[in-house]
Structure 1
């Protein structure tokens, strides 16, 4: 498991809120996955200079819980480009509201395909 966040700016940084949590105050895994998908989508759209859609999420594991009030930083790094597809490594890290210590929460690879105005695959223009 990674011991320190990537040495780059996060694609997304957000504070978790009560609406994002279950009755016990733990953040829903689906909410966290959507933040990761948004971060990866930013990278995919920027690299392909247009619309890109998620086609797969590979290897998602939850390493630690996230609580209401935690700051979540999502890092996204383009690692592979095909003719129409892009693979992006994504990591989500949490930091308690009043501390500096950070913890890896989850990581996965998101695969996107660049699409045209008819929602058909198009060549990546990266």
Structure 2
């Protein structure tokens, strides 16, 4: 991933509004809320690809470049970059569309590894596309 990306990479998988309950007293959205939305988006995309249940196995390095504010719309973009036997790596970008504006800024990005599970909670093979 390019650190100074000007446009989102990947498919828009989740879009939501940052609300006052997601913020601290200064109006900055909690980083944990952004991370949770990224995890939800990965779960959606990975479950579609695995055709079943998935869990988060790892989150590679994440740092926040820009703050999210109350009223911003968060867009989470996903690209599957690697598929193994039972796991996959997803490149995830979180972008803020600023309140009442066309301005989009990348808030953070990470690689997240998801594992496909069978009905007993054990890793299962990811089917071919």
In the superposition, the TM-score normalised over structure 1's length comes to 0.95
- Structure 1 alignment gaps of length 5 or more: none
Is residue 11 of structure 1 aligned with residue 13 of structure 2?
yes
How far the C-alpha of 1:99 sits from its partner, in A, is: 1.0
Is residue 83 of structure 1 aligned with residue 72 of structure 2?
no
- Structure 2 alignment gaps of length 5 or more: none
Superposed, 1:28-39 pairs within 5 Å as 28-39=30-41
Tell me the alpha carbon deviations over residues 37-93 of structure 1, each in whole angstroms, 9 at most, x when there is no partner: 011111110000000000100011110000000011000111100000010000000
Q: Distance in 2 between matches of 1:39 and 1:76?
A: 8
Superposed, 1:1-126 pairs within 5 Å as 1=3, 2-6=5-9, 9-126=11-128
How far the C-alpha of 1:5 sits from its partner, in A, is: 1.6
Over the aligned positions, Cα root-mean-square deviation in angstroms equals 1.0
* Residues 18 and 32 (structure 1), Cα distance of their counterparts in 2 relative to 1, 3 Å cut: same
How far the C-alpha of 1:9 sits from its partner, in A, is: 4.4
